[in-house]
Every structure is written in structure tokens, then in C-alpha cells.
Amino acid sequence: MAQAMAPVAASDLVTLKRPFQSDGFGEENGGGGGIADEKPRARRRESDPAAALAAARHEFGEHGGVNMSIEASATFTVMEPDTMRRLFAGELGPDRGDMYIYSRHFNPTVLALGRQMAALEGTEAAYCTASGMSAISSVLMQLVGAGGHVVASRCLYGGTHALLSRFLPRTSGVTATFVDVDDEAAVRAAVRPGQTRVVYVETVSNPTLAVADIPMLARVAHEAGAKLVVDNTFTPVIVSPARLGADVVVHSVSKFISGGADIIAGAICGPASLVNSMMDLMEGALMLLGPTMNAKVAFELSERLPHLPLRMQEHSRRALAFATRMQGLGLRVVYPGLPDHPHHARLGAMGNQGYGFGGMLCVDMGTEDRANRLMHHLQNTTQFGLMAVSLGYYETLMSCSGNSTSSEMPPEDRARAGISPGLVRMSVGYNGTLEQRWAQFERALALMQPPTPQAHHLKVAAADRDAAAADNHRKH
């Protein structure tokens, strides 16, 4: 019978092995002399995510390429039959002799991306998965188990809400209590000592943009012997939940981290012991459910992580500018960067300096009809952005959350979570110029106003012009 792999040493999941000795990128495992000995310790102290990413070991290609090679193999050969036995016995592995068995277990390229993710989030280890949902479901199944209980925020991404309210109760007997996580007394009252295994929140909630008080929630969870799991999809780089007390950080890598709207991926960042338990041959959710990331996808993503901090800065700068101007026009705007957002100071205090308040904002248009008309003009008349779910793309993406990404929630739960029918969620992009985009927004908004007889003529003419331009734009 196959044995569980021996734990992968934490240091091997955090620091990266490199092929060159003299480039100053550091060396782990004690090799390489005095300077190398200093580097890993210095790296672990980096608290700025961009600095931590840059300090993680740079993986070079097989032939000295500046980019790492892609290890495309599903399976790995050994020179001697006994080596296979030792691999399965856990005597050899990624950290012991740089040896691999099979890519659903560990793959060198996927593991290298995991090291970058661990550096980004300041965790001991990270493992990358095929989607955000597979990361979330695997972690919850691993940590909670049959009959266990979860205290969850009542405002979560619709898929996560459905997982906790429907799927896990049906398949695993897991139960969840949804609470206002801003209300410490309510969280404490919901926790069941001995049964609650996880407190689950999003750093910035989808779509209402409430900011979780991570240090408080970590305290409450830990006092009850539970783990705090935080979905940091909306705020990579901006907030580092593990540095604030979270035990596990999960991501939909499909969003800001990818940045391209062309990849579905996820990540689990946390202690090496968690990753190792999830890769256990007999008991591990990742090993046995198998939501493996393809090595070619891992390579693509590893090329995008280095410019994630720059992208987040520009997403934040544009979102703050738009939110401020929209509010100035009298619109009901929700953006944590606005001083009147109830959690503005909290995000300011929890956030890493210099990355702003994120790229997500919401405009509440009151009714679904007005929300739809605004989005129609923003996409089809003025080309401000695209009607699409998801986020983190260079173009602005917008959707009416109540009838899309939160439609899994029953109407009464949506109302309790503060998701009004006219709420338009925007992931603010950074292509084009800020002024060009703002002019497009203003033009679309003007088309929403009830026309006065004189203005009507002008607006129809302008709309016709814009529609013709849009048509032309689509053809090219």
C-alpha cells in the first residue's frame, strides 16, 4: 500500500533552488557560503509583497534561459527500481533529491509558481490549483470534515455561498452559519467550540466591498480552536491576510493575479503542514480530488506575477479617481478608498502601503433596469468597458451582481448581504487613458437622463454617432 509522502520542509516550499551560484539571488539549504546564508533570512523578513516576490528565488531555464523551463511531463522516470519504492515511502521527493513521481502530486513548474504565491502572501507554502473554487472546496473539505461547522460571512462570492449552504451540507454533512462578520458578538455567538473548524471570509467582499477585520476574526477563530480562512481574490498585494493573523489564504488566480481573463486557476497559501496534509496519498484533498494545475498554465502565471504589484497600483489609482468623480456627480458609489466608506480606515490600516484600495467599485443605480441601461451605454455606445463577469482584466468589466455572480444566493440572503438589484460591480481596468475613460463614462451617464425637448435631438445625434463608431470599432 502506498505511504503518505514525508512532509515537504517549509524552507523548501518558500525558498527557490537556482542553477547559478554567483548571481546573488541566494541559496537555500545552507549551501553557498556567507552571503547565501544571509539571504534566505533576509527574504523572510520582507513585508512588502513586491519586495518579497522579488526576493524569492528566480528560477532559470534548463539552458540558462532567463525564464524557467516548463516541466511538461505527467510522469517522471527513475534510474533504479528501488528509487521508486523510496519515492513512495517518502524518503525522496521534491525536497529530497529534487525528485518527482507524478504531476498530480508535485510538478516542478507548478511548485515554482507555488513558491511565488507563498512569497506574495507571506506564507510558509502555497499550492496552485485548477480554479479558485477547487482551492476553496479542497481547503474546506480538508479542514472541516464530516459533521464539522463553518462560520462564514453572509456576503461571499455566490459560488462559495452555494458550496457552503448547499453542496457541502448535502455531500459532507458540513454545516455553515452565515453572519455579519463585522459584528464581533455575532461571530462569537455563531462559533461552536469543538465543532467550528473554520471561520471563512473574503478580505473585501464580493460584491458589496465590505472589508473584513482580519485581526479580530483571527482572534475569535483561534480562541475557539478554529482556523481563519480568507479569500484574498479582490486584494492581492494590497492586503496580506496571513501577516494579519489568517491561517490560510485562498485565491481565484483567474482574476487580478492572472490579469489576462484567459486562465482559470486558484491557489492555497498557508503552512507547509497544511499543503503536505492536502497532498497526502491517503487523506489529502488535493491528492485525491485532483484539481491539478497544468504546468504550462503555471508557467504563464509565473510570468505575470512580477508585474502584479504595478498592475494593482494602476487598478487602484483609476478606481479611486472614478469613484471620487462618480460620487461628485451624485451617484451612489461604494469604494473602500472613499473616506465615507465604513471600512475606509480599516483597509487603510490593514493594507500594504502604496497599493491603494483596490480596483473594484460598485455603483448602485437603484433598479435593475437602470443598471442595465447604464451598462448597455457603457459598453455599446461609449466603449467604457465590457459587460462580463470576473475581474482583474485590463479592460473595465461590469456586471449587475444580483442577477449574475450573486444569483446563486436566495433573494432574502442577497438583501441581507446588501446586494441591491441595481448594484453594478465594476472591475476598473487600466488600458486607455484615465481622461478618455472618464469622458466615456460621462457620455454614457448623460444618455441615462430623461431628455429635455432641446437636448433630445442632440443626444440622439450623439448616440447615433457613438453607435456608428462602436460598430466601426467592432469591425476592426
Q: Is 133 an interacting residue with respect to ligand PLP (CB under 6 A)?
A: yes
Residue 70 DSSP code = P
CB of 107 to ligand PLP, least distance (A): 19
Per the CB < 8 A criterion, the answer to whether 322 and 314 are in contact is no
What totals of helices (H) and strands (E) does the chain contain, helices first? 19, 12
Q: Which of helix, strand or coil describes residue 104?
A: coil
Q: Is 429 an interacting residue with respect to ligand PLP (CB under 6 A)?
A: no
Residue 305 DSSP code = G
Q: Is 266 an interacting residue with respect to ligand PLP (CB under 6 A)?
A: yes
Determine the longest span between alpha carbons in the chain, in angstroms. 87
Q: Is 138 an interacting residue with respect to ligand PLP (CB under 6 A)?
A: no
* 40 φψ region: left (φ > 0), alpha (ψ -120 to 50), beta (else): alpha
Q: Is 206 an interacting residue with respect to ligand PLP (CB under 6 A)?
A: yes
Per the CB < 8 A criterion, the answer to whether 428 and 319 are in contact is yes
CB closer to ligand PLP, 157 vs 393: 157
- The edge-to-edge listing of strands for the beta sheet with 227-231 is 125-129, 266-270, 248-252, 227-231, 196-202, 149-153, 175-179
Give the chain's radius of gyration (CA, Å).
Answer: 24
CB closer to ligand PLP, 131 vs 383: 131
Q: Is 274 an interacting residue with respect to ligand PLP (CB under 6 A)?
A: no
CB closer to ligand PLP, 109 vs 254: 254
Per-residue buried b or exposed e for 151-174, using 16+ beta carbons within 10 Å of the residue's own CB: bbbbbbbbbbbbbbbeebeeeeeb
Task: Mark the segment that binds ligand PLP (CB under 6 A) among 102-110, 131-139, 307-315, 467-475.
Answer: 131-139
Cell of 91: 524518503
**Residue length of the chain:** 476
CB closer to ligand PLP, 107 vs 160: 160
Considering only 235, 252, 381, 382, the residue that binds ligand PLP (CB under 6 A) is 252
CB of 388 to ligand PLP, least distance (A): 11
CB closer to ligand PLP, 106 vs 157: 157
Per the CB < 8 A criterion, the answer to whether 434 and 321 are in contact is yes
At position 169, the amino acid (one-letter code) is P
Q: In the block, which residue shows the cell 479582490?
A: 234
The Cα–Cα gap between 6 and 134 comes to 24
User: What does the per-residue mask of binding to ligand PLP show for 141-170, with x meaning CB under 6 A?
Assistant: ----------------x-xx----------
CB of 251 to ligand PLP, least distance (A): 8
Tell which positions 37-96 bind ligand PLP, by CB under 6 A: none
User: What does the per-residue mask of binding to ligand PLP show for 379-398, with x meaning CB under 6 A?
Assistant: --------------------
- The site for ligand PLP, by CB under 6 A, has a size of 15
Q: How many angstroms separate the Cα of 475 from the Cα of each of 224, 469, 472?
A: 59, 10, 5
Q: Is 254 an interacting residue with respect to ligand PLP (CB under 6 A)?
A: yes
Residue closest to ligand PLP when measured from CB atoms = 132
Cell of 313: 497600483
Kindly write down the DSSP assignment for every residue of 24-63, as one continuous string. Answer: SS---TT-SHHHHHHHHHHHHH--SHHHHHHHSPPPPPTT
CB of 39 to ligand PLP, least distance (A): 34
The Cα–Cα gap between 240 and 213 comes to 12
Cell of 408: 446563486
Tell which positions 398-417 bind ligand PLP, by CB under 6 A: 405
Q: Is 127 an interacting residue with respect to ligand PLP (CB under 6 A)?
A: no
CB of 375 to ligand PLP, least distance (A): 18
CB of 301 to ligand PLP, least distance (A): 12
The Cα–Cα gap between 159 and 178 comes to 14
Considering only 131, 294, 381, 383, the residue that binds ligand PLP (CB under 6 A) is 131
Residue 4 DSSP code = P
CB closer to ligand PLP, 160 vs 292: 160
Q: Is 269 an interacting residue with respect to ligand PLP (CB under 6 A)?
A: no
Task: Mark the segment that binds ligand PLP (CB under 6 A) among 46-54, 125-133, 171-179, 458-466.
Answer: 125-133
What positions carry a catalytic annotation?
104, 157, 231, 255
Per the CB < 8 A criterion, the answer to whether 117 and 52 are in contact is no
CB of 393 to ligand PLP, least distance (A): 12
Q: Is 336 an interacting residue with respect to ligand PLP (CB under 6 A)?
A: no
Q: Is 132 an interacting residue with respect to ligand PLP (CB under 6 A)?
A: yes
Q: Is 231 an interacting residue with respect to ligand PLP (CB under 6 A)?
A: yes
CB of 132 to ligand PLP, least distance (A): 2
Binding region for ligand PLP (CB under 6 A): 131-133, 157, 159-160, 202, 206, 231, 233, 252, 254, 264, 266, 405
